[in-house]
Structure 1
Amino acid sequence: MSHRLIAGKYELVRQIGRGAMGYIWEGLDLHLRRRVALKLMSPDHVASTTARTRFDREAKAIAQLRNQHVVQIYDYGIDEGSPYIVMELLEGEDFESRLERIERLPLSALVPIVTQAALGLAAAHAKGIVHRDFKPANVFMSRGEANETVKILDFGVVSMLTSEEDATEDELQLTHAGSIVGTPLYMSPEQIRCGAVDLRSDLWSLAVLAYRALTGQHPFPGQWLGMLMVRICTDPFPPPSTYLKELTPEVDRFFERALAKDPDKRFRSAREFASAFAALAEHNQPGTAKILVVDDEPDVPHLIKQRFRQQIKKEVYTFVFATNGESALEELRKHGDIDVVLTDINMPGMDGLTFLSRVGDVNPLVRTIIVSAYGDMSNIRTAMNRGAFDFLVKPIDFKDLEVTIEKTLKHVTELRTNARSSEENSVLRMFVSPSLVDRLRSASSFGAIDTWQGTVVFIDVAGFHASSKSQEPNERVRTLNANFEVIVPAVTNRGGVVDKFLGDAVMATFRGDHHVTRALEASLDVRMQLRTLALRAGQDSPFALGVSIGVATGDMLSGEIGSKAFGRLDYTIVGEVPRAAAMLQAAATKNQILMNRGAFDVAKDSFDCVPVHPATSEPLEAFELVRRAGGDTIGGRGGPNSMAETIDLTGGPPGGNAATGGGSPLI
């Protein structure tokens, strides 16, 4: 097949990689006389509409991203009925291959890799693109003339954060909840549950990559898919310091946030993630600041050491020196704890302005002071626009330099403090009803009674009692929590509040606009996700127990219930509505959703419902929720049959030296 022409202008030279749907070739652009990488779909996938649509989506996704940390696309087209993508040819290796060779990296060496990968993800997220298969095999370490650049590969399973009104039917089938795409070892809990994903799912995958690269271990290992799914959705992970005693508590706290099961508790953006990770690389002695001085004048190191000899002796400052931008970038990579850079503008090789534009890729927390000739306002203005914190003019006034360094260090300290700060203490909300926490935060006084319109949903893990009789106590709790880790986010994603856990059941409330519709959507989401997980994890998994659900709507009454005299109070909902929801749940069979008349009157135009007559001790009018109108019986477009065919527990075999994604399972 070598020397074959694609589209009449790309000559195939040699195959350099392969994936689940095709091959990567080194090629030659005969028009521009440059080497390129060509992604070709294998003949057995050409007939698949889904595969061709995914291929087309990848080309469109990469074409939107003009970022040095994303592989660049040159062309896309159809040749003899088969689609192709033409990309830049990269020299180097994927990060999976590197980790297999060296097992793990020190924190200071990992910071620039994670930072550059985060910048690539940030560019994708800014365009509304979620990668969904971010893993070491899709992170390429591209060798350049002066340094190594991280490139993100393989956008074949991206999710576009567009509204359903703007999306085509094929796009919805590719990325809708209910489909599992990607590599499970690096999947977020919401992705492995087949729920909706956003940029925070990519940040989870980036955190798994960083954890593995730092410790040499996966945070959630698993030899088979069912075990892995339960661990990702339910189990805690060993703190990194378990494997490396020299790692600080700050490192453990970083991963607690980055790998939080709840997406709301993770980092809010890739840039925030990168800044917090860079802050972990501080290895300064207490009170010591590290300063990088970049200047090609041979007497500068001697002048600096002479001027600051007292501060050096007292270990207030430590200085590192470089002669141009290229060597300065190398020093930044070697010293992840540099606080301030003092750089000249005019230097051989890489000048100060070019260097300034690259500093953030290596360490986003470093602040740079530019030194320029007096009156060179054009360069100074350019430097400030590129992110310089301050500037000095030659000849340098050393008193002014000391003041400027102190001011810059103060700013850097504030940045690092903010980056290290963990999210607001959530212990109270974790163990107390959110309704009570909201009451504590509100201005209303205790003792007041609230009345409001709302919907209550009771969700019971249907087969728990029968299946748990033979289980050890810790396994019983783990089984229950595995189900709750699916139920709780499904409720909160629809705007509901988990009011309390009652043994093996959850009581959730919905208020505000469309509260009935949102409650029913949440119920369908719970059922769909658990049934899909059971299909993938097996009938012996905790997800196969099923749920019975009761939904009731009407006037709600909430207030303080309990004994104030003995200090035992709960702030909860009482009355006919929660009682009706509990009765409906008790009457429901496995994977059945029953609702009262009030909910049915609201839902009948948007959902398929049928009247039922459950056997109860007292008369009970009930309606079964079957599906969304025009949807499937387990909720969600496409259902379990829309899952992707390829599931790779290992992350795929390492690839070659091109934009291949390292032989990822989906290309």
Structure 2
Amino acid sequence: MTGAVRILVVDDEPDIEALVTQRFRREIRKGEMSFVFARDGEEALKVLDSDPEVLMVLSDINMPRMDGLTLLSRIGEAHRDLRTVVVSAYGDMTNIRTAMNRGAFDFLTKPIEFSDLDTTIRKTLSHLEEYREMQRRQAEAELSRAILARYFSPNIVASLSSQSGGFKPRGEWREATFLFTDLAGFTHLVETTSPDVIGDLLNAYIDGIARIVFAHDGTMMKVIGDAIHAAFGAPVAQPDHAERAVACALDIDEFAEAYREHWRARGIDLGATRIGVNSGKAMIGDFGGDAFFDYTAYGDAVNIASRLEAANKVLGTRLCVSQNTVDRIAGFTGRPIGLLQLPGMSEPVPAYEPLDPSRADSPEVAAYTSAYGLLAGGDTSARQAFAALVGAAPDDPLTLFHLQRTLAGATGILIDAG
């Protein structure tokens, strides 16, 4: 412990103050210890209430007004961090046992041997220092868990907390899958809707998505307004991170569409949630320094996921997943979108729309795949194939998108998604 250790001595003997200060004069002179004195329990409680620097109490048992046993009980109620050593006659073992049962740390017998007192004080203070260090570490651990719980699922928090050395989120290159969401038209909605309504809408929306991310053991990297950035495969490695991310994206889409209908029934025209997913290596870690926790990721793998989310606006889709992600999933169910030329990317990115297995096996998706194959091969009959599909499924935005492209003269699957 740094600085003088402050000790309260409680005893009604008139010479106790002189004896203690004389015995510990060297420690007092060096600034290692300081003492404050009280004649009974009532006076001791007043000292403790006014002097928060007291760390240890050395108390006689037999005193007027309030004895040492009563004082012990009162200290236990209001000053749990203090350590108390009781002093009593050698033959008064009944009171000593009672004192120990009430929380006394140790005891000394009268007449006091000051060498024993010195040893007991140092032992008590050493124990108190260990106890406070344990409390400090526990508080740090609880704070760490509270911070982690904002970003990671309960399973990941438990895993990180159980690791020896705790969570050390320094930057490292990791293979992971990244998911971005954005709520269409939200800025306009904020400008035209009551703040109370927006608050309720947004809180429940973000909470719903976060719960889905956590259900798939994902990490909430960032929430910016209505937009969410999540990751899978970090900080805890997940061999199936791509599969988790796509399953999460499908669940978010289902939740968001149901949530959209809920608010439309209340007269609020909530836009669609657009989702982009990509896999690859990124620099992931805590880049906030000591003053700010910012667990985030950098690299093209992250940028592509973000741009795929934005590409949905061009395509008319809600979900857009890269070839990098699809290649990591055995039995992926979905349909091809095309080669997307994304802003800032030199090479086009093959993209897919993930589908629920029940829909992926439908005749409409089979017909779409056939028409897409014609388009990819440069076959001009792709226009008629997509036109027929639009007639059969007028609400399919991706089919309509390709039809409009072919009507404009497009003969391939390279798409400017800027």
TM-score, structure 1 normalization: 0.33
- The structure whose Rg is larger is 2
Structure with the greater relative contact order (CA < 8 A, sep ≥ 6): 1 or 2?
1
